[in-house]
């Protein structure tokens, strides 16, 4: 049984699949820790053209997602799992951070049954405001505007999935990294060669003195802005 399931409602499944089928996301799926499912919003479109958007009342540029196809798509998922929670990536949402990702990963790890999130990926200029009445979490990835919810969906998924125990190799990998205690940034790290074009690895890291190395790392961890 997976720890967490993401059902992604999108018009552009092909934009998401390559990433979710690669590296850690693929490994997490292969290990059975995560499950991804897609719902094509177009399947719930209206009329012969399966239309999902229309012009804004009051005028203005661009097209907005209509509520009917979105509600029907979400309801089709909730029919099978009424406990599924709906996330919408939107610039007007709460700014996503590591603590939010960690909370979801921990809840998923501690839950008896898989946590299930439906991520609704808006597209076009925006969405009809009434769509928000069926949404549990509004998430912003930052103060900039993207063309759709697919990239935010991948970022939200990636940042949660890598924190689920068993996904990353070393169990400490996710513990000592950046933002692990709120706003710390990870200390600088080095691998071979010792001397790369005259730039040398700090000697202390070769000393074998774990106490001194820990102190150096502490001193070289910074606070995020
Ligand atoms: N959709 C468009 N821009 C976005 C942002 N900054 N965060 C989340 N979703 C978005």
Residue-level pLDDT at 176: 66
Q: Give the dihedral sign, CA 125/100/8/115.
A: negative
* Atom 10, ligand 1: residue with shortest CA distance: 90
Backbone angles phi, psi at 58, to 5 degrees: 90, -5
Contacts of 155 (CB under 8 A, 6+ apart): 96, 141
Contacts of 215 (CB under 8 A, 6+ apart): none
- Ligand 1 pocket residue status of 178, Cβ below 6 Å: no
Tens digit of each residue's pLDDT (9 = 90 or more) over 82-133: 999 999 999 999 999 999 999 999 999 999 999 999 999 998 789 999 999 9
Residues in the chain: 225
- Ligand 1 pocket residue status of 142, Cβ below 6 Å: yes
Asked if the model's pLDDT at residue 180 lies above 80, the reply is: no
**Atom of ligand 1 minimally distant from the CA of 122:** 1
Q: Residue 176's CB: how many other CB atoms inside 10 A? A: 14
- Ligand 1 pocket residue status of 96, Cβ below 6 Å: no
C-beta of residue 132 within 8 angstroms of C-beta of residue 92:
no
Tens digit of each residue's pLDDT (9 = 90 or more) over 16-63: 999 999 999 999 999 999 999 999 999 999 999 999 999 999 999 999
Q: Ligand 1 pocket check: which of 62, 65, 152, 154 to mutate, most ligand atoms within 8 Å of Cβ?
A: 152
Q: What is the pTM of this model?
A: 0.94
- In order of 14, 79, 113, the CA distances from 43 in angstroms are 15, 16, 29
- Ligand 1 pocket residue status of 155, Cβ below 6 Å: no
pLDDT averaged over the chain?
95
- Ligand 1 pocket residue status of 89, Cβ below 6 Å: yes
* pLDDT confidence bin for 142, thresholds 50/70/90: very high
Domains of the chain: 4-161 (3.40.1280.10), 183-223 (1.10.1270.20)
Ranges of H-type helices in 23-66: 23-30
């Amino acid at each position: 049984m997976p720890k967490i399931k993401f059902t992604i409602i999108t018009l552009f499944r092909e934009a998401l699949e390559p990433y979710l089928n690669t590296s850690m996301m693929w490994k997490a799926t292969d290990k059975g820790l995560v499950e991804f499912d897609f719902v094509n919003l177009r399947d719930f479109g209206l009329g012969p053209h399966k239309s999902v958007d229309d012009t804004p009342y009051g005028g203005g540029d661009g097209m907005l997602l209509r509520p009917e196809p979105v509600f029907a798509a979400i309801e089709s998922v909730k029919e099978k799992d009424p406990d599924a929670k709906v996330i919408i990536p939107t610039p007007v949402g709460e700014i996503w951070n590591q603590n939010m990702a960690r909370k979801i990963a921990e809840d998923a790890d501690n839950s008896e049954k898989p946590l299930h999130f439906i991520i609704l990926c808006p597209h076009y200029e925006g969405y009809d405001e009434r769509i928000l009445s069926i949404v549990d979490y509004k998430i912003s990835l930052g103060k900039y505007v993207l063309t759709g919810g697919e990239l935010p969906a991948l970022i939200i998924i990636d940042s949660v999935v890598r924190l689920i125990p068993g996904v990353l190799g070393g169990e400490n990998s996710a513990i000592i990294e950046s933002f692990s205690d709120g706003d710390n940034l990870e200390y600088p790290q080095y691998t071979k060669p010792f001397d790369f074009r005259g730039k040398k690895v700090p000697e202390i890291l070769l000393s074998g003195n774990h106490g001194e190395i820990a102190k150096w790392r502490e001193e070289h961890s910074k606070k995020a802005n």
